[in-house]
Amino acid sequence: MRLSWGAIVLAVLLSASAFAADEWIQIFNGKDLSGWKPRGNAKWTVVDGCLVGEQNNGKVGDLFTEKEYDNFELRFTYKVAWPANSGIWFRTGYQYDILKYKNPVAFSGTLYCPGKMFITKNLDESIENRDGWNEGRVYANGEHLILWLNGKKTGECNDNTCKKGSFGIQVHSGNQFKDMKIIIKKLEIRPIEAGDKPTKPKPE
């Protein structure tokens, strides 16, 4: 059977599209906590295909992947029940913060590192949709780190504190954050090599 030129072109396009989609790897399966391990005292559940972290005792809790990663792009979709202090850990020791901080002023999309506090800060609160879904992105290639929130770059730096580690989700301690809730709908990565450029997100 001979295929028409149009059919061949369509097959190539569909194949290329499938290959591009396969580059992104889901690290949360939408069903359960397989591949993850909790630390601390937060409550972790899966509700309607979303990963939910919450606390009602004032104590901190984290949920980390069992696997470790070094160079990658990360994209995730989240929303929060405020007031809250949360974030997405990457390479174990960096955190894409999800918060509203007063001193120093910093909003979601800020890069936090224990011992260094905020390495980069997002000072534009209006980028985040505080009542709905948001997309966060991270590019981590060697020392080069870039963060985006809803398509807008919120930080870029070179830092070598953490070179490899797990992904994680934090529920912060503090009675002021009782009944906070972080909801993750999508969490996926694309492994990259030295020299690979970031996939720039489209503005919301």
Where along the chain do its domains lie? 26-191
Farthest-apart Cα atoms in the chain, separation: 70
Give the residue among 175, 95, 195 at the shortest CA–CA distance from 136: 95
Q: Which residue has the higher pLDDT, 85 or 156?
A: 156
18, pLDDT greater than 80: no
Mapping DSSP to helix (H, G, I), strand (E, B) and coil, where does residue 104 land?
A: coil
Q: For the segment 164-200, what is each residue's pLDDT rounded down to a tens digit?
A: 999 999 998 878 888 889 999 999 999 999 989 999 7
Q: Does position 89 have pLDDT exceeding 80, yes or no?
A: yes
Are 89 and 161 contacting, i.e. CB atoms less than 8 angstroms apart? no
Q: Which pairs from 33-38 meet CB under 8 Å and 24+ separation?
A: 33/63, 35/65, 35/66, 35/67, 36/63, 36/64, 36/65, 36/66, 37/63, 37/64, 37/65, 37/66, 38/62, 38/63, 38/64
CATH of segment(s) 26-191: 2.60.120.560
Read off the pLDDT band of 7 (50, 70, 90): very low
| pLDDT per residue as tens digits for the range 95-130 | 999 999 999 999 999 999 999 999 999 999 999 999
Find where tokens 């397989």 sit: 34
User: Tokens representing 30?
Assistant: 């939408």
